[in-house]
Amino acid sequence: MTGRSRLLHALAVLATAGGLLLACSGGAEDATSTVDESDTTVPAGTDAVSTTTEPLTEDAPASPTFHPEENPEFLSDWGQLSLVDGSLVAGERVTAYSLNSPLFSDYAQKLRTVWLPAGSAPATYDPEDVFDFPVGTVITKTFWYPKTDRSDVVARYDTVPEDLDGALDLTSARLMETRILVHRESGWDALPYVWNAEQTEATLQRTGDLLPLTLVDGAAETPFPYVVPNVNQCAGCHATNHTTKVIQPIGPKARHLNGLVDLGEGDVDQLSHWVGLGLVADLPDAAEIPMSAVWDDDTVDLDARARTYLDVNCSHCHNKVGPADVSGLFLEPDTELGSRLGVCKPPIAAGTGTGDRRVGIHPGDPDDSIFVFRMQTDDPGAMMPELGRAVVHAEGVALISDWIASLDGDCPT
């Protein structure tokens, strides 16, 4: 079992310790008012008013809490995660989950969890878009790096000790931030929480944060600014519709969740597991559920891996209704290979972002493709994605370069 699988296994076990979710037909009001021994709904209050001043440390996994309006000062007030015996663990009935291909974020690792209040209806399945989660849903994403012996230096995942097992052991992991997406009556809200130096608590930072770090990979050292987005920047990615500007989750789509996860007794289908937990309902036949590729699995077709990479890293902006819709570049998985995907497409208004290259994708010639230039630069005025990275994803650049080199055809001069 890989370190990633072991972590998912342990967190899944912790998440199911409190029992399965109960599905019912209640609406939004039911989802916000239901209370049982392991779920609490906190009345509306003032933004950033804490219900506790204690660190996140617990003797057992915490009981999750839904805050209909207030934005607590401390992450511990949500009860989604807690520190137990020096490890970060999911709260009661909080489910850790995995995506086939996650978004690249400066080589940070991510622990993802989802929680629905007891008594709420399960999420509604959608074959293409994000599942429709009920009011009261809380989704978290915790960013972390393997520790080194220096507080300003972090490592890549391949340097994680082999004994990293069970929950996320904080003797080996450096927690950076935990982002919360909470589904309220008014819609989804995004809240960034930054972990303190002692790794005992995370505090709401609505204005974001910036931490100068160095990433080590063997003998190579790369200084970079680790950026925690402010609440407005969160909308830069999560408001995937340029017209409505409504915030929503990005990752929990059928194609990204449709895969096998190791829960300790062999691989199980993640979406079927979600059905058993009451997190989603009414799945179609397995053959009808789309599945994205694992981008770094070289046993999978190169085209499928490249298209998945562009989907998870770019299509939340580059879609037909997204913030980058005026570019005419649509990187969704169903976009046909052609000008709308960037093939032989000159830029509309890229400015210096072209790197003196003529078209987005020049079949057979990655060195003349704007895609590759914008991925391999760390110039804030030219790089893509614009938000969420400061370090070049060398493996991603290599993947897209190989894919472009494999394409047939040529662009007219």
Q: What is the largest CA-CA distance in the chain?
A: 69
Q: In the numeric block, which tokens belong to residue 194?
A: 């930054």
Cβ-contact 296, 289 below 8 angstroms: no
Q: 50-99, pLDDT tens digit by residue? A: 444 456 767 778 899 999 999 999 999 999 999 999 999 999 999 999 99
Note the pTM of the prediction, 2 decimals: 0.84
Q: How far apart are CA 311 and CA 400, in angstroms?
A: 12
343 pLDDT above the threshold of 80? yes
Q: What is residue 242's predicted lDDT score, i.e. its pLDDT? A: 56
- pLDDT of 256 higher than 80: yes
Angle (CA) 237-238-241 rounded to 5° is 95
Q: What pLDDT does 224 receive?
A: 95
If you ran DSSP here, which 8-state letter would residue 198 be given? T
Q: Which helix (H) or strand (E) holds 68?
A: none
Report, as an integer, the average pLDDT of 195-204: 96
> Per-residue pLDDT tens for 87-134?
999 999 999 999 999 999 999 999 999 999 999 999 999 999 999 999
What is d(CA 108, CA 213) in angstroms, rounded to the nearest whole number?
Answer: 12
Alpha helices, DSSP H, located in 177-241: 231-238
pLDDT digits (tens, 9 = 90+) for 354-394: 888 999 999 999 999 999 999 999 888 888 887 778 999 99
Beta-carbon neighbour count of residue 353 at 10 Å?
18
Residue ranges per structural domain of the chain: 3-287, 299-406
Core vs surface per residue 395-407: b (16+ CB within 10 A) or e: ebbebbbebbbeb
Residue 11 pLDDT > 60, yes or no? no
In a 3-state reduction of DSSP, which class is residue 393? coil
What percentage of the chain's residues is helix, strand, coil (to nearest 5)?
25, 25, 50
User: Whose CA is closest to 314, among 254, 272, 259, 371?
Assistant: 371
Residue 391's SS3 state is: coil
